[in-house]
Structure 1
Amino acid sequence: MIWNPNKECMPREQMRELQGKRLCKLVQYVYHNVPFYRHKMQEMDLTPDDIREIEDITKLPFTTKQDLRDNYPYGLMAAPLSEVVRVHASSGTTGNPTIVGYTRRDLSIWSEVMSRCLSAYGVTRDDTFSVSYGYGLFTGGLGAHYGVENLGATVIPASTGNTEKHVRLIRDLHITGIACTPSYALYLAEVVERMGIRKEELGLRIGAFGAEPWTEHMRQEIQSRLGLKGYNIYGLSEIMGPGVSYECQEQYGSHINEDHFYPEIIDPVTCQNLPYGTQGELVFTTLTKEGMPLLRYRTKDLTSLIADPCPCGRTSVRMMPIMGRSDDMLIIRGINVFPSQVESVILGMKEFEPQYLLVVDRKNNLDTLEVQVEVRRDFFSDDIGSMLKLKKTLSDRLKSVLSISAEVKLVEPNSIARSQGKSKRVIDNRVLV
């Protein structure tokens, strides 16, 4: 089912014209309401009048994650706080989160694009949908929640945790769809099997999976073990949250809601635009956002775009699966984790050498993070009690910064391999095949 045929099936020329009009309006808006962008454009000897069509977007400055951190908390807001009705946040490389504000219209658009996603998966008013992303500052839970409600289906705000209870609810409430990370879906399947429940008893038929990398192999395993059809959903907090793009029944690339989010692919080194079909860094401009609109935001995600017609009837540009990132960010259980976050915690404690190693793995279908860190010689002890206390202190501090639990392993001085070149701080043992 196509939720909004007028926009999702709009002829390409009409879409380009619409994007051009919205870009011109956006540039005027941020120029007069966001000092950061006004100064950037003035440095480039650029005025809003220089932007007349969508092709002029290449004249505009890029925005990076660092720009959001430098303008913490509200420096990039275009709307006054009196018009901001919700704030979400995502983690960054420092203690300051990335703050994102939404006006009432932003939330309405968010619900609209999420409804397009869910409709493409086959969700209808007759479905009961479990939202098993985290609720709170993370955009996943509430983003999917309001999309389900807007579509008219029944929403179950299950969030995460207490998986056995969740399995019973799926069975007893006749839940037909679920939104969660793919790794949680696999864990859910394990619990279902451990409880001795057949997948046919659950009646699941649709899964909306995102917030972390996953592969076709994982899709097939999830579908086989839970008896549903799994679809990719893509989003990021800085742009909107989930709903930026979505797979249709064809499952060949994810349709971008490009009347609201204009995509580009650039060379991550030269920043030059690349043609359709060429892999590079994904860049988004929020064409309609009021609270915190962004010009040419560099996502660091590596993918390619295709504009070929889709058999489903939608005419929007599609993005292919994310192949990696152009920076060192890790995505662990749907949470952004940077090695520099760990480093900042370690360097803040006098007991540790500035030598550490992050070991990422996938056990029982869930991502795990182990932090190995060297204890300074004058703090290293055979006293198990003091070592356990130090381990707990570091674990607690890491959790408060990373928003996820990490297994801490204290090691002896000089036990972590040194390098005369660039130090290897991360070992990612997850195999995505």
Structure 2
Amino acid sequence: MNPFLNPITALPFLKNFLFDARRLRAQSLDKIKKYRDKALRRTLRYADSVPLYHRMYQDSALTVRRITEISDVPTLPFVSKQNLVEHFPNEILPRGYSKKNTKVVSTAGSTGKQISVFTDFSVFSGGIGATLRIYDHLQLPWRTSRLANVGNFNPNMADSTAEHLFYSNASFVYKKNKRITLNAFLPVQEIISKLDQFKPDVIYSYPATFFHLAFYKRKGYGENINPKALLVSGSMLEPYTRSYVEEAFGCKMHNGYGSVETSSEAPIAFECKEGTWHINYDFFHVEAIDEDRQLVENGKRGHIVVTRLFGKATPIVRYTGLDDWVVLEDDLECACGLHTPVLKGGVEGRKSDSIILPDGRLFPAASFASLYSILNELKTRKVKQFQIVQKKLDEIDILVIVDEDLRNSGPSVETIFEKIREIHQKKAGPNVQITVKEVSDIPSQKGKPAPLVISHVRPEKGYKVIDT
């Protein structure tokens, strides 16, 4: 049955749909705190009915009903990727929970381990306010805007699951002629052609996909592709890609940060017009921990931990599996009008994608990649794509694809490569061999575009994280 035709599911959705996106603007900080405390209690009562969580709480001698407010969250045990993998499928839903209306959704497995959880309409309904908030905040009329989602629509992937469970039934909200879905792994010229026919107002995709689209836009393709905003998620957006894409399309890119496990459609945080990454803290509780799983103070870099405060299916409570570096800041009253906790400087990439140096320093991906300053200084857009590959502790390759149409204009390829080598050599120090290589292709990973950094060196305790 279409959940929008069932009063039991449709009425809560309608309430969430009408009011949740503007809750942070409409309610006082005290009311939001009470809302979060209540949402946490509801989430924990539900989680305690799930065998995985129930057993963990028993092992911790934890009484869930004594956890009454957000400040109590640090007393709860962490849940890891491995926990979800080991207890899938039978112990990550409440016993007796009907799977008829659930859907398995899986990560792409780009880190080598695919994670699968259950989702259902309650997760999409409960998070709809976070989904709509970025449109509301950027003053994009979501009902009439023509939205193109260029993502991963393979079976059990987040985008295809969202289409099946939610958007395919929501034509009265999202008119079908106002939305188009395209697989990001189609030939780029085919994507460009379809977007040109559709004439989108908003495009949602990965940073690498936007870069490829921008390359063709610069070559004169896609005359009718003139969006008002580009919404980016799925991997890290670094400054060179941002400037390259924004120049090509003549509009701003805005980051959204979410995950398959927590709810792919409801972002944990999003970037406002002022460049601030606001945490949707009425939908998620976010913490940061160090290598010893101790909370780090605000302003210090740590690994993100997320608790989802809405929806049923597989609950997500103190989940450590996102593996991303973040710096949390206290509630910030931003010039955009929102007053929220923030991710300072955004998300800096995964721990597993960090650059590790022989002297014990560890750079998150965003802190090490420095092409933007060099290419801006040289006033060139000759670099079509790049990737940093750490092969050994003391050996790093920087792979670069050159735009053939620009090869013989502006600074030489040799000059650009030497400047790239110099700035990264300065960061890495004299004991690391930096090699800049021209390549013709940088392959995608399993189910996702190519990452900015690939490291074949695993971090161990004792490395010092660089705060830059």
Same fold at TM > 0.5: yes
Aligned-residue offset at 1:315 = 2.3
Q: State the AA in 1 paired with 2:298.
A: Y
State the one-letter code of the partner of 1:237. Answer: V
Which residue is 2:36 aligned to? 19
**CA distance 1:166–1:275, change in 2 (3 Å):** same
State the TM-score, normalizing by the size of structure 1: 0.70
**8 A contact 1:100–1:238 mirrored in 2:** yes
Note closer, same or farther for the CA distance 1:26–1:424 as it changes in structure 2 (3 Å cut). closer
Residue 104 of structure 1: how far off its partner (Å):
1.7
* Residues 232/141 of structure 1: CA separation in 2 closer, same or farther (3 Å cut): farther
Q: Number of paired residues? A: 348
Question: How far 1:178 moved relative to its partner?
Answer: 0.6
Gaps of 5+ in 1: 331-354, 366-397, 407-421, 427-433
Q: Could you say if the C-alpha distance between residues 184 and 292 of structure 1 is closer, same or farther in structure 2, counting changes exceeding 3 Å?
A: same
Offset, 1:230: 0.6
Q: SS at the partner of 1:132?
A: strand
CA-to-aligned-CA distance 1:305-328 (integer Å, 9 cap, x gap): 221111222223222312233335
Q: Give the conservation status (yes or no) of the 8 Å contact 1:266–1:283.
A: yes
Moved more, 242-251 or 89-98: 89-98
Task: Map residues 68-107 of structure 1 onto 2, 5 A cutoff.
Answer: 68-78=84-94, 80-82=97-99, 84-92=101-109, 97-107=114-124
Instruction: Report the counterpart of residue 6 of structure 1 in structure 2.
Output: 23
**Among candidates 285, 290, 296, match of residue 274 of structure 1:** 296
Pairs within 5 Å for 1:27-426: 27-31=44-48, 33-78=49-94, 80-82=97-99, 84-92=101-109, 97-124=114-141, 125-136=143-154, 137-140=156-159, 143=162, 146=167, 152=174, 154-160=178-184, 161-194=186-219, 196-197=220-221, 201-242=224-265, 243-253=267-277, 255-267=278-290, 269-298=291-320, 299-306=322-329, 307-320=331-344, 321-327=346-352, 361=399, 363=401, 402-403=446-447, 424=457
Q: Aligned partner of 1:211: which letter?
A: G
In structure 1, distance between residues paired with 2:241 and 2:284: 28
Q: What TM-score comes out, normalization by structure 2 length?
A: 0.66
Gaps of 5+ in 2: 1-18, 356-391, 404-442, 460-468
SS of 1:316's equivalent in the other structure is: strand
Q: Secondary structure at the match of 2:323?
A: strand
Alpha-carbon distance between aligned partners in 1 of 2:302 and 2:255, rounded to the nearest angstrom: 20
- SS of alignment partner, residue 273 of structure 2: coil
1:34-87 deviations in Å (ceiling 9; x for gaps): 122122112211111221211111110001111111112342123713364322
RMSD: 3.6
Distance 1:219 1:115 in 2: 23
One-letter amino acid matched to 1:259: D
Structure 2 residue matching 1:271: 3-state secondary structure: coil
1:76-128, Cα deviation, whole Å (9 max, x unpaired)? 12371336432211144898732121222112234432221233333213321
The answer for the alignment partner of 1:386 in structure 2 is none
